[in-house]
Amino acid sequence: MSQSRRTRVQRLPERGVYERTEIERILDAGLTCHVGYVVDDQPFVTPTAYWRTGDRLYWHGSSASRMLRQLAAGVAACVTVTHVDGLVLARSAYHHSMNYRSVMALGTAYPLLDREERLAALHAFMERVAPGRWQEVRPPSEGELTATTVMWMSLDEASAKVRTGPPLDDEADYALTCWAGVLPMTTCVHPPSADPRLLAATAEPAYLRTLRLG
Q: What average pLDDT score do residues 167-173 get?
A: 97
The pLDDT confidence band at residue 3, using thresholds 50, 70 and 90, is: low
Q: What average pLDDT score do residues 45-57 get?
A: 96
User: Would the pLDDT of 153 be above 90?
Assistant: yes
Percent of the chain at pLDDT above 70? 98
The pLDDT confidence band at residue 1, using thresholds 50, 70 and 90, is: low
pLDDT of residue 5: 76
pTM of the model: 0.89
Of residues 17 and 172, more confidently modeled: 172
d(CA 214, CA 206): 20
Neighbours of 155 (CB within 10 A): 20
Q: What is the mean pLDDT of the chain?
A: 92
CB 116 within 8 A of CB 181: no
Could you write out the DSSP letters of every residue in 93-121? STT-EEEEEEEEEEEE-EE--SHHHHHHH
Of residues 213 and 41, more confidently modeled: 41
* Lowest-pLDDT choice from 30-34, 39-43, 45-49, 82-86: 39-43
pLDDT of residue 2: 54
Domains of the chain from N-terminus onward: 13-86+96-165 (2.30.110.10)
